[in-house]
A = this chain, B = another copy of it.
Amino acid sequence: MSVIGAVTLTKDRYYVHPNALVESTEIGPGTMIWAFAHVMRGAQIGANCKIGDHAFIESGAVLGNHVTVKNGVAVWDRVTVEDNVFLGPNCVLTNDLNPRTYIQKGGDSLTPTLIRANATIGANVTVVCGVTIGRYAFIGAGAVVIRSVPDFALVVGNPARQIGWMCICAEKLPLPASAPADTQVSCPHCHVRFTVTDEGLSVLEETLTSKGA
């Protein structure tokens, strides 16, 4: 047992609120799990994550390090969330493309979802399973994502469509969504430079100065 401020940690140095229910032992140090959250046995959670009130992490879900899971979010079996992802309040993930109560599914009959590092999933977003959300992609609040999202893409609406690009520094880039491959752009705020690729934007490393990258 150790104490940081008013918070008492487990021997593995993560924090479980007295009103939370944690059945997994695969939780990294520095992670905090808040009231009425439920982490099931076998769920994997990295270090320094924040699991908000009323969140649910199912057996088979995998979260990297520094992931923020805001209140009311459920992360299901077959959902993989890489490092530094933000899952906004009440955003909804899924693992069954076409559920019917009378058709039992489990294991490999479920459909995986991959949320790549540093992506932001906005408040109350719905992510239909089977997609990959690219690195640093930004899904605007209330969007309904039904197809994969490129790296750094900014998408909004129902169904979600791309309306631009979002920088590492969380400012919108001066680049149209339809910019052709090899177009280059520099962020007016943090001065990171990017080029358009087949997978979205790619950072031109030599100019990289942002601490967030």
A-to-B contact residues, CB < 8 Å:
19, 21, 35-36, 38, 53-54, 56, 66-68, 70-72, 74, 84-86, 88-90, 92-94, 98-103, 118, 120, 122-124, 126, 128, 138, 141-144, 146, 156-159, 166, 168-171, 212
A85 touching B101, Cβ below 8 Å: yes
Q: A85 — which chain B residues lie within 8 A by C-beta?
A: 101
B120 touching A170, Cβ below 8 Å: no
A90 touching B88, Cβ below 8 Å: no
User: Would you give the shortest CB distance from A192 to chain B, in whole angstroms?
Assistant: 13
26 example contacts (A-B, Cβ-Cβ < 8 A) are as follows A21-B36, A35-B38, A54-B72, A67-B101, A68-B101, A74-B90, A84-B102, A86-B100, A89-B92, A89-B94, A92-B124, A92-B141, A92-B142, A94-B123, A98-B120, A98-B138, A98-B170, A99-B120, A100-B168, A103-B170, A123-B126, A126-B141, A128-B142, A141-B144, A156-B159, A157-B158
Q: What is the bound-complex CA distance between A35 and B124, given in angstroms?
A: 22
**Within the oligomer, what is the number of copies of this chain?**
3
Q: What is the bound-complex CA distance between A99 and B169, given in angstroms?
A: 10
User: Would you give the shortest CB distance from A117 to chain B, in whole angstroms?
Assistant: 10
A53 contact from B19, B56, B141, Cβ within 8 A = B56
